[in-house]
Amino acid sequence: MPSDTHVRDEYADAALFLGMNSEDEDVRRACKAFFVDRLDGSIVMSLEQVGRCDDIIWGFSRELQDAYYPFMDNLHTVMDIRRLGYEEADVLRATDAELPRSLPVHERLLLGMVRGREGLLHTASPRLAATTGFALRAVAGADGPEALFPEPLESLYQQSLALRVPAEAL
């Protein structure tokens, strides 16, 4: 039985990661602040969510991919991002009647993973943000000056902003 000092793993989804390059400035700044604040910590992403990021980025021109990927590659290197595959129990939980059928399967799978592993999901997905009864937190607008990554990551991030992800893709 977990004690009161039990620290939940924090999970990030593709919407949160790609939100750092959102066309919506409030979303972009809030998502960036999430990652800057946790740069020295640890987060979890499912392998599928990492792949969703790639799938969306590969839909952009080669020139924009080349501007984006140095930042993403470096962030995945300097930050402790644990990439985990689904287990059978995660998949079974994703079919639980408690999970809204209105959510896409990839989001139900992620919720099943987070719930079963007693984590906390951070997201920029409007669909997930509207979901109640689960351990999730939607990013909120960032106040004050924009959070900055340490160099050279910040310069790579600024270069990556040539690529902007439409809100509907999150």
pLDDT at 1: 42
Task: Please tell me the distance from the alpha carbon of residue 105 to that of residue 109, in angstroms, as a whole number.
Answer: 6
Task: Please tell me the distance from the alpha carbon of residue 7 to that of residue 127, in angstroms, as a whole number.
Answer: 26
List, as one string, the DSSP characters of 42-100.
Answer: EEEEEHHHHHHHHHHHTTS-HHHHHHHHHHHHHHHHHSEEEEE---HHHHHHHT-TTS-
Q: How many other C-beta atoms lie within 10 A of the C-beta of residue 30?
A: 22
Q: Between vectors from CA 93 to CA 119 and to CA 2, what angle results, nearest 5°? A: 35
pLDDT at 7: 67
pLDDT at 133: 82
- How would you class 21 by CB atoms within 10 Å of its CB: exposed for 0-12, middle for 13-18, buried for 19 or more? buried
Per-residue pLDDT tens listing for the chain (170 residues) = 444 455 689 999 999 999 999 999 999 999 999 999 999 999 999 999 999 999 999 999 999 999 999 999 999 999 999 999 999 999 999 888 888 888 999 999 999 999 999 999 999 999 998 887 888 999 987 788 999 999 999 999 999 999 999 988 98
Q: Which tokens sit at 5?
A: 């000092």
Q: Where are the domains of the chain?
A: 10-163
pLDDT at 119: 96
Look at the pTM and tell me if it is higher than 0.85. yes
What is the CATH superfamily name and number for domain 10-163? 5'-nuclease (3.40.50.1010)
Q: How many other C-beta atoms lie within 10 A of the C-beta of residue 1?
A: 3
